[in-house]
Amino acid sequence: MPRPTRRQHLIEVAIDLFNQYGYHATGIDLILEKAKVSKRTLYVHFRSKDELILAALRHYDGLFRNHFMTQVEKTAKTPVERLLAVYQVAQEWFMQNNFYGCMFINAIGEYSATDSAIRQVCKEFKALIRDYIEGLCAELAAPDPAGLAEELGLLFEGAIVTAQVSQQKSRAAQTAKTAATALIDNALAERSDRT
Amino acid sequence: MPRPTRRQHLIEVAIDLFNQYGYHATGIDLILEKAKVSKRTLYVHFRSKDELILAALRHYDGLFRNHFMTQVEKTAKTPVERLLAVYQVAQEWFMQNNFYGCMFINAIGEYSATDSAIRQVCKEFKALIRDYIEGLCAELAAPDPAGLAEELGLLFEGAIVTAQVSQQKSRAAQTAKTAATALIDNALAERSDRT
DNA sequence: GACAAGGTAAACTAATCTGTTTACCATCGC
DNA sequence: GCGATGGTAAACAGATTAGTTTACCTTGTC
């Protein structure tokens, strides 16, 4: 693997800093200092700070979803196991010492204007996560895969926020997993009721 | 009711602006302009912007919890009904046109330092909400009221975040309510299993 | 009517912010 | 060797930030 381009390096450093300190609080100068890159170079690759934020969000989107799905599929085989593995992988994510909550949730807290591009990217990320869960629910042959996925998605988001706020990370993930088990069982019971 | 003191007025204006634009992005000058108060007066009542933020969070904490619990207890009588009413009241909250997610979740996104007072206030708020839910679960005589409360709390937080991000507010609240019903039924079924 | 309390308006400091510009330097392909 | 590419370092512009200070005004109370 060749050493990353300056553009990519800037994005990676920016992701770390945005997560830790937030978007407005992280100045361009801090990013440049940590990345050991000149200001000139940053503005060659990105028109503005907002564009760097967008690039960081998009890059993290790909990185995160790829890692997450790979991890889920590696550790579990059946749809049910995979749905539960989601919360196991989430737990490992929470336990990282540079976990500062969800990058996209934090971003929307600072950029709530409905027409902002940043907001749009966050919305799309969450939709894709939900779609992934929905796919697993569909494999389950749950009667209402979209409905079950929405419920499991709420548990996922709730676990992220609770891990971030309460700092009881493994408890939040474990509780979500327990609740998910109950909701899945419930959905499958309805299926067998009908047949 | 006497007209509010300048201190209180400043806090109320600050709450609105912090919610809409975030904490770092909301400048002192904007608050002063909207509140029609001089800078001198603000710094008589608050030592710094951070102290204004803290006062805003504490004030909102009281306001929100009072409103929320009052509303729940007004619209439902039995513990089960009240647990479900939580999501009904949440839905009404989401539907307000000045809903920008949870003030405390947004705050922690910008102030993640573990020793920060702001962070501490957010953590306490969430713990109090959870305690309220746990009280209702205890009245249910659920076998594990703390566990059930944690699960229902995850659904609550998840609904807030999802309503904020997806903008499908009533859907998020409705899904949380449906999932909560299943989790409560499940907890009560375990109780009757044992007896 | 005098005085104190609490307010406004505005100038000011000093730091920090994003973004631009200038001048220079290293490295690689030809 | 030569020039293009892509980089650094640093000065600079202009706006904006939090916070302080000075001078003045308004209002209720004795």
CB-to-strand C under 7 Å, chain B 1-40: 5-6, 36-40
* Structure-block tokens of residue A122: 């966050």
Rounded to 5°, the CA angle A84-A88-A89 comes to 115
Token pair in block for residue A69: 């799905």
Residues of B in contact with A112 (CB under 8 A): 20-22, 100-101, 164
A contacts of B106 (beta carbons < 8 Å): 109-110
**H or E stretch at A34:** helix A28-35
Task: Answer whether B157 sits within 8 Å of A158, measured CB to CB.
Answer: yes
Phi, psi of A78, deg, nearest 5:
-75, 155
User: Strand, helix or coil at B19?
Assistant: helix
Among B21, B161, B167, beta carbon nearest to A105: B161
- What is the rounded distance in angstroms from the CA atom of residue A153 to the CA atom of residue A133? 7
Cβ contact A34 with chain C strand, < 7 A: no
Q: Does the nearest atom of strand C lie within 7 Å of A29's Cβ?
A: yes
Classify residue B47 by its DSSP letter.
S
Q: How far apart are CA B138 and CA B135, in angstroms?
A: 5
**Helix (H) or strand (E) segment spanning residue A163:** helix A145-166
CA angle A11, A15, A16 (to 5 degrees): 125
- Cβ distance B50 to B121 under 8 Å? no
- DSSP symbol at A3: P
For residue A77, give both structure tokens.
């085989």
Q: In chain B, which residues have their Cβ closer than 8 Å to the Cβ of A176?
A: 151, 154
Taking the Cβ of residue A189 and every Cβ of chain B, the question of whether any pair is shorter than 8 Å is answered with no
Q: Are A63 and A12 in contact (CB under 8 A)?
A: no
Contacts of A131 (CB under 8 A, 6+ apart): A149
Residue showing tokens 């998840």: B158
Q: How much of chain A is helix, strand and coil, in % rounded to 5? A: 80, 0, 20
Own/partner contacts of A4-7, CB < 8 Å, gap of 24 or more, are A6/A37, A6/A41, A6/A45, A7/A45
pLDDT in tens, B143-156: 999 999 999 999 99
pTM to 2 decimal places? 0.94
Amino acid sitting at position B118: I
Q: Is the CB of A49 under 7 A from strand C?
A: yes
Compute the distance between CA of residue A45 and CA of residue B91 in angstroms, rounded to an integer: 43
**Which protein residue lies nearest to nucleotide C7, measured between its Cα and the C1' atom?**
B41
Tokens of residue A9, six digits:
């390096």
A101: left (phi over 0), alpha (psi -120 to 50) or beta: left
Set of chain B residues whose Cβ sits within 8 Å of the Cβ of A157: 157-158, 161-162
| Planar angle of CA B151, B153, B156, nearest 5 degrees | 120
Nucleotides, chain C, CB distance < 7 Å: 6-11, 16-23
Radius of gyration of chain A (CA): 19
CB atoms A153 and B155 under 8 Å:
no
> Residue B138 has which token pair?
């205890």
The spacing between the Cα labelled CA in A46 and the C1' in C29, in angstroms, equals 27
Interatomic distance B69 CA / C16 C1' (Å): 43
Between chain A and chain B, the number of residue pairs with CB atoms below 8 A apart is: 146
In sequence order, which residues have a C-beta less than 8 Å from that of residue B88 and are 6 or more positions away? B75, B173, B177
Distance of B3 CA from D28 C1′ (whole Å)? 17
List of B residues 102-131 with CB within 7 A of strand C:
none
Q: What share of chain B is helix, strand, coil (3-state, %, to 5)?
A: 80, 0, 20
Note whether A57 contacts B: Cβ–Cβ < 8 A: no
Q: Is the pLDDT of residue B3 over 80?
A: no
At B194, the pLDDT band (50, 70, 90 cuts) reads low
pLDDT per residue as tens, chain A (195 positions): 455 788 999 999 999 999 999 999 999 999 999 999 999 999 999 999 999 999 999 999 999 999 999 999 999 999 999 999 999 999 999 999 999 999 999 999 999 998 899 999 999 999 999 999 999 999 999 999 999 999 999 999 999 999 999 999 999 999 999 999 999 999 998 766 655
A6 vs A32: CA distance, rounded Å: 11
Q: Which nucleotides of D are covered by protein (CB under 7 A)?
A: 6-11, 16-23
**Res. B195: pLDDT tops 60:** no
- Please check whether residue A79 is in contact with residue A133, taking contact to mean a CB–CB distance below 8 angstroms: no
Which residues of B are less than 8 Å from A164 in CB distance? Answer: 108, 112
CA distance B157 to B159: 5
List the single protein residue with the shortest CA to C1' distance from D6.
Answer: A41
Distance CA B62, CA A34 (A): 41
High-pLDDT (> 70) share of chain B, %: 95
Of A132-136, B2-6, B134-138, the range with the lowest mean pLDDT is B2-6
Stretch B111-136: mean pLDDT, rounded? 96
Chain A residues within an 8 Å CB radius of B127:
166
Other CB atoms within 10 A of residue B193 CB: 8
